[in-house]
Structure 1
């Protein structure tokens, strides 16, 4: 009979034949800790019990991970021998329980085919293993510290850094830059800010867990695998906006993998709010004369080199692998044309957060789903907007208010930034003009018409 179908001890509440592995057994001899193995971004601590192997898994790519993901990784690693290695696996996750809000959650799954996941407690696990198991907060999951753990070891002391925000690439980029580099200054600030926030968060969570343990809660039945190292920059000074934007402009033009990793980090951290680019834009080149004018200035991208950060950002959010990469020489921003032969011929690109010109606004053109700004030098630009703060017209919603406020700012200063919530006072006259603008076809408003509408409020 396999280890998956062995009965529980006779003094168990039931025979255990139909019960989950961890729940069907109160424990036996003290389990022997075996090793830590790493499979598909999971660190799995293995114990050998008299009823088979048990694995406690920690995701190294996500704060929680998935018990089915860990189970699948172990089955793929050990294949026909998995039953000899593991009877059950559990994943330790961030606290979510209403009853124990500060205690990490344990989700387990037996290794036999068709098994379902189930929640258990640290007290139950300690009873089964005959010892308390360690927990690593997601901000303290240092791979080497986990690999070195042994029963009875004190908590490792590691720098706080959440597994979803690895800062190594930002530190590497800063170290390789020359003195006075804006890119280095902002990367160093990013590293320190992430460290400071993660340190504060995990320190608070450890205190809450210790309070639960002191009150006899389930937290008393686990050990801390690590505690945060001392933080010597608790409140890092933020670089000026000019330094931040200059630094990101330099980084987003780079083609190396370190810059790509730093870009991925900041997209998860703050969405790239200091990049010179803003939200995504989809353009139908057949929508109007202005869209065709913009399309004609696009040139083929250099296909003989690795993609820049911006090109990779666009490609990662692209529609298909066969899309054609282009480049707008007026803005320095890449664009993607849908692959030839597809049903649509849209072009996918990014707007700017500020227009790089001193030429005043001369007209607004709205067409399809796109708002265009024409300046007096004849150049057309996408209306600046940030991701999540799109601009629109023809209805009474947020996008229409945002475009009205943007137009008011651009009439005064063409280099005004894209709008955010509460950035400017309401532009009621411009809003009313845009609200009643037809959504179909193309509509052009001259500077004079915009100023007249603005004055009418």
Structure 2
């Protein structure tokens, strides 16, 4: 989240500052620091001068002549403040908020950090026709500032204009430290029941959608115990991470300080850690076996669980990167496609389809990788498949590679394979706009020594310089590079290429 942009016309600026056109003309000449007209984001031309609303509003608060018309929380405050008081909670369009009576009027804090939260709540107050009841609304910025959690404020007099405010300033107005909830415990019931002086509530961190999906699969007796153990392990890992995150946020926001004094923050809720941490991080091979079973299931719960796993820990799935190439006769892709075996769709196929209409489903009988044929972005048919993490250990050698929309491997025993690749990477060649194709160089370097090796791209930047230089060149689709060419490139230094 950040401060939302707002723009003021010349008439808007005059209205805000309580001056006429001549007054604005004089003001622009009297104050060297008065904000200059700007161009709205996304605009190339603007027929009318506009000003950044936040800049003008902040400038006014910092200029004695116009301070009373500037941002409420940025105006100079009296040296001696009367102590404010808590005024209870109010339900708003962005959830329950806490109100504080202060010498400036009522300050409302809404515990939301999404875009325009402050503006929407302040606009709702202004729409009641009684904006004086609440002079400003603060929402969370999602970060930490010099005196506590960072805030974005929107005054009800000008709700479309947002500006950054200091937590410590609001606490000084309220006369006490302000409550704060970690993101996962900003639950309406907890905010509504909070009162000054109450100890931090101990609350369960609610499960997110991913955990719910995995728990549902874990309780489905259609799956065997190995598969259910695998999804339980991942669900436990997600829950542990969420509890740890809430604890860490409390530690950072509740104890961090930039000066001699601690931040005026009261931690309002702590996660329930009974039984924490849950057991997870089990044997990787056993977990992979469980996900293997789920990937080949056709149950909807398996599809949903697999979609979670793809984003959470794809290396458990034994599938490489999703790859898409056009269906074209006479290409090396066609040679590979001839051996694909038609099959009924599995959970892995369903995740691979990603909701697109599919003409047919297949499995590569040599690598066991799912594949399908669908329409591409332009409507032309494409093959979509998972790159294998490794090629069959047949005792053969890499014979050639063909660069045809992806990298293809031909072997000494006459087979054609998509080059292996890890789930989070992709294989490419040519101009990378500053990047270099070290991933494909690493894959080829590995396969030249052992065709059946499982590739690792964790340190792909260490690929042989000569191979990297070879793949940094702009090769046309269909280019074939022999084993000899690749071996010579691997031995070369950048200076000799």
1:257, distance to aligned residue in structure 2 (A): 6.7
Taking the aligned partners of 2:195 and 2:352, their CA distance within structure 1 comes to 42
Paired residues of 1:107 and 1:118 also in contact (CA < 8 A):
yes
Q: Cα gap change, 1:249/1:262 in structure 2, threshold over 3 Å: closer, same or farther? A: same
Q: 1:311 to 1:419 in 2, by over 3 A?
A: same
Q: Do the aligned residues in 2 keep the contact of 1:249 with 1:276 (CA within 8 Å)?
A: yes
Q: Any idea what the Cα deviations from partners look like across 1:53-88, whole Å, max 9, x if unmatched?
A: 7241235xxxxx33x15644886x899559769654
1:129 and 1:162 mapped to 2: Cα distance? 34
Match of 1:386 in 2: 422
Q: What is the total number of aligned residue pairs between the two structures?
A: 419
Partner of 2:333: 291
1:370 matched residue in structure 2 = 406
* Distance (whole Å) between structure 2 residues aligned to residue 390 and residue 229 of structure 1: 41
- Secondary structure of 2:286's counterpart equals helix
Counterpart residue number, 1:337: 374
1:213 and 1:423, CA in 2 relative to 1: closer, same or farther beyond 3 A?
A: closer
User: Structure 1 pair 256/47, CA: closer, same or farther in 2 (3 Å)?
Assistant: farther
1:15-414 matches, cutoff 5 A: 17-24=68-75, 30-36=85-91, 43-47=95-99, 49=101, 51=105, 54-59=108-113, 65-66=114-115, 68-69=116-117, 71-72=119-120, 81=128, 88-97=136-145, 99=146, 103-111=148-156, 115-129=160-174, 131-142=176-187, 144-146=189-191, 148-159=193-204, 167-177=211-221, 181-212=225-256, 217=261, 219-220=263-264, 222-230=265-273, 232-234=275-277, 236=279, 238-253=281-296, 262-263=305-306, 265-270=308-313, 272-286=314-328, 289-294=331-336, 308=347, 311-312=350-351, 314-315=353-354, 324=358, 326-330=360-364, 331=368, 333-335=370-372, 337-338=374-375, 342=378, 346-355=382-391, 360=396, 363-374=399-410, 380-392=416-428, 397-408=437-448, 410-411=450-451, 413=452
Deviations 1:161-187 (A, max 9, x none): 797x86333233323357962333233
Query: Residues 252-288 of structure 1, C-alpha deviation per residue, up to 9 Å, x if partnerless?
Result: 4567775566455445544x22222222323133385
Aligned with 1:440 (options 468, 476, 480): 476
Q: Give the match for residue 62 of structure 1.
A: none
1:304-344 deviation digits (Å, cap 9, x = unpaired): x9x9465346537xxxx7x656423324535463359x386
Query: Which residue is equivalent to 1:10?
Result: none
Cα–Cα, structure 1 residues 93 and 282, in superposed 2: closer, same or farther, change >3 Å?
Answer: same
Residue 141 (structure 1) shift: 3.8
User: Structure 1 residue 93: deviation in Å?
Assistant: 4.1
Corresponding residue SS for 1:189: helix
Contact 2:97 2:111 in 1 (8 A): yes
* Counterpart in the other structure of 1:417: 454
Shift, 1:20, TM fit: 2.4
User: Cα–Cα, structure 1 residues 454 and 243, in superposed 2: closer, same or farther, change >3 Å?
Assistant: farther
**1:15–1:337 distance in 2 versus 1, CA, 3 Å:** same
- Is the 1:169–1:258 Cα contact (8 Å) retained in structure 2? yes
Residues in 2 aligned to 1:392 and 1:358: alpha-carbon distance in whole angstroms: 26
Structure 2 length-normalised TM: 0.65
Distance 1:410 1:143 in 2: 58
Q: Distance between the aligned counterparts of 1:145 and 1:260, measured in 2?
A: 35
Contact 1:300 1:325 in 2 (8 A): no
Distance change >3 Å, CA 438–CA 180, structure 1 → 2: same
How has the CA–CA distance of structure 1 residues 452 and 93 changed in structure 2, closer, same or farther, with 3 Å as cutoff?
Answer: closer
Unaligned runs of 5+ in 2: 1-15, 19-63, 493-497
Gap change, CA 1:400 and 1:166, over 3 Å in 2: closer
SS at match of 1:58: coil
Alpha-carbon distance between aligned partners in 2 of 1:325 and 1:73, rounded to the nearest angstrom: 49
Alignment RMSD: 4.9
Task: Please give the per-residue CA displacement for 1:416-436, whole angstroms capped at 9, x wherever unaligned.
Answer: 32322248996788x389659
User: Please, what TM-score do these two structures have when normalized by structure 1?
Assistant: 0.69
* Contact 1:252 1:308 (8 Å CA) reproduced: yes
**Separation in structure 2 between the aligned mates of residue 432 and residue 203 of structure 1, nearest angstrom:** 44
Could you tell me how far 1:159 is from its partner in structure 2? 4.4
Q: Distance in 1 between matches of 2:341 and 2:121?
A: 45
Unaligned runs of at least 5 residues, structure 1: 8-12, 60-64
